[in-house]
Amino acid sequence: MLIKTKIFTTIIYGFLIISSVSIYAETPAEVESIYPPYHIGAGDLLKISVWKEENMQLDVLVAPDGAITFPLAGEIRASGLTTSELTSALANKLKRYIPNPNITVTLQQSRSNKVYVIGKVNRPGEFVASGYMDVLQALTMAGGLTPFADSDEIKIIRRTKTGAKVRLFDYDEVVSGERLDMNIILKAGDTVVVP
């Protein structure tokens, strides 16, 4: 009887674990809305290879103007594109010379995804995000707030095509779980200012 009870308990416990995992699982659409696709930027290191073309397997550095140069394709603007968009652009250029080119573009090293944290933090400076970084993570990389920081007046400055935009960030509200919508994913070039 004791063995049957243990087996039953184990089955119920396993079911509860599986149920709880499925409750918190994110759909692909939810993941994409949280983590937008990565856009190539100046300074990124790419590996581009064309299948069955030995001379067309290269490491390519994105120039400061956002362009890359690749054999037979010439110069292509890569900055602002995803790796799949760059793959398509390269395929369009190369199909004149190679029938049905099979191209792979991978991000070898992200060097353009830099955010800046300045003001009353313990280690202000420039930080390279290897993945997606939110405001709290950036503040953590900067060593946290100093005792004299004005934690409810933190600003995030983002440059856009129409000019600089400022978003407010209240550290205490976010940490207490009240305003998690303020803890946005930072974009390359964003500056977090802690007064």
Residue 123 to residue 90: CA distance in whole angstroms: 41
Which pLDDT belongs to residue 3?
A: 55
Name the more confident of 141 and 31: 141
Which pLDDT belongs to residue 107?
A: 92
| Predicted TM-score of the model (pTM) | 0.66
* 160 has pLDDT over 90: no
* 163 has pLDDT over 80: yes
Which pLDDT belongs to residue 4?
A: 53
Which pLDDT belongs to residue 36?
A: 73
* 15 has pLDDT over 80: no
Q: What's the pLDDT tens digit per position in 115-129?
A: 999 999 999 999 988
Specify the residue for token string 């303020």. Answer: 182
When pLDDT is cut at 50, 70 and 90, the band that residue 35 belongs to is low
